[in-house]
């Protein structure tokens, strides 16, 4: 059958060697399969900080894209450990045996385990629930972007037309609830265009803070008659895992004041700014 699987771990205590299963790779049948647990990766943020979580997500997303598209995109996985004699990397058993020899304090590839079964999606889901996370669905497609990745891409596409990471004050905008409010971007062309890139899986308190500050600025501009467009870029959270966050997402989706844009459609924001010839606010 030539099927095998390998578990991916996050090192949560380098001194003691404690680690947390965060992903599963399986090869066999008609294609490679890979999924990682957003719930487990969120725990890494609590245990090791936001920077560690971001780096871990970037590596997991790189492997997921490789598994989906079979593209040569693993150059940043275990930086410096991959042989430089070839520019492409096949996700096969010898390659995973090779990766098991290299680990970092953050990400470790577990031993390669052969299975005498034909690999398919159902067996993969069963193993994922057994070995990685029984609370999450094993998502085999990354149709949506990582939120930090989406933010970087959006900045690259619209940065010349807006002020990015703009700090707005009550002096500039009378009526703001707080002395200063920071938005991801703001621009204008007779009308004001504002927006936030939002992770709808973050904790409720922080999600509400992101939404409320945008809503405050939107309301003030509306009262002044200067609101052109308000964007929120973000993806629908899992309804079962994040019920309150899903309610917030649904409210924005139904809002007539705010345009909710999925991360795989950020071109809509760029097109609007170009069509309206939006320029930086300051």
221: CATH: 3.40.1350
C-alpha to C-alpha distance for 70 and 84, rounded to whole angstroms:
18
Q: Please, are residues 44 and 12 in contact by the beta-carbon 8 Å criterion?
A: yes
pLDDT digits (tens, 9 = 90+) for 205-264: 889 999 999 999 999 999 999 999 999 999 888 787 788 999 999 999 999 889 999 988
**Domain shared by 124 and 151, yes or no:** no
Residue 74 — very low, low, confident or very high, per pLDDT cuts 50/70/90? very low
Residue 125, pLDDT > 80, answer: yes
Mean of pLDDT values over 41-45: 82
Question: Other CB atoms closer than 10 Å to residue 263's CB: what's the count?
Answer: 19
% of residues, the chain, pLDDT over 90 = 37
Instruction: Give the strand pairing for 227-233 and 191-197.
Output: parallel
Predicted confidence at residue 98, as pLDDT, reads 54
Domain-embedded: residue 142 = no
In a domain, residue 139? The reply is no
What value does the mean pLDDT take over residues 166-195? 92
Taking the C-alpha atoms of residue 275 and residue 282, their distance in angstroms, rounded to an integer, is 20
Rounded CA-CA distance 207/201 in Å is: 8
Mark whether 125 and 189 lie in a shared domain.
no
Same domain, 250 and 164: yes
Give residue 43's pLDDT band: very low, low, confident or very high (50, 70, 90). confident
Q: Can you tell me the distance from the alpha carbon of 59 to that of 36, in angstroms, rounded to the nearest whole number?
A: 11
Higher pLDDT, 148 or 136: 148
Domain, as residue range, for 166? 147-280
Give the mean pLDDT of 123-138.
Answer: 84
Residue 126 shares a structural domain with residue 151: no
Q: Whole-model pTM?
A: 0.60
- Say how many domains are in the chain: 2
Q: By C-alpha distance, which of 178, 158, 154 is closest to 168?
A: 178
In a domain, 96, yes or no: yes
Task: Tell me how far apart the alpha carbons of residues 75 and 30 are, in angstroms, rounded to a whole number.
Answer: 24
137 lies in a domain? Answer: no
């Amino acid at each position: 059958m030539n099927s095998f699987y390998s578990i991916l771990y996050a090192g949560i205590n380098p001194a003691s060697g404690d680690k947390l299963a965060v992903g599963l790779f399986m090869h066999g049948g008609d294609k490679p399969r890979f999924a990682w647990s957003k719930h487990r990766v969120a725990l890494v943020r609590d245990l090791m900080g936001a920077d560690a979580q971001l780096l871990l997500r970037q590596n997991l997303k790189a492997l997921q894209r490789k598994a989906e598209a079979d593209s040569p995109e693993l150059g940043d996985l275990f930086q410096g450990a991959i042989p430089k004699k070839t520019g492409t990397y096949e996700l096969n058993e010898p390659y995973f045996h090779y990766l098991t020899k290299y680990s970092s304090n953050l990400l470790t590839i577990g031993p390669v385990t052969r299975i005498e079964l034909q690999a398919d999606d159902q067996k993969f889901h069963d193993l994922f629930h057994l070995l990685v996370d029984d609370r999450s669905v094993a998502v085999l497609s990354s149709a949506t972007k990582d939120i930090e990745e989406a933010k970087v891409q959006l900045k690259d596409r619209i940065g010349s037309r807006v002020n990015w990471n703009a700090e707005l004050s009550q002096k500039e905008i009378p009526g703001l609830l707080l002395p200063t409010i920071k938005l991801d971007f703001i621009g204008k062309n007779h009308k004001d265009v504002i927006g936030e890139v939002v992770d709808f899986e973050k904790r409720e308190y922080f999600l509400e803070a992101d939404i409320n500050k945008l809503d405050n600025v939107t309301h003030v501009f509306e009262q002044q008659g200067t609101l052109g467009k308000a964007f929120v870029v973000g993806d629908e959270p899992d309804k079962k895992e994040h019920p309150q966050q899903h309610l917030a997402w649904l409210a924005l989706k139904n809002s007539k004041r705010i345009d909710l844009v999925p991360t795989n459609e950020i071109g809509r924001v760029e097109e609007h700014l170009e069509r309206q010839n939006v320029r930086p606010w300051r």
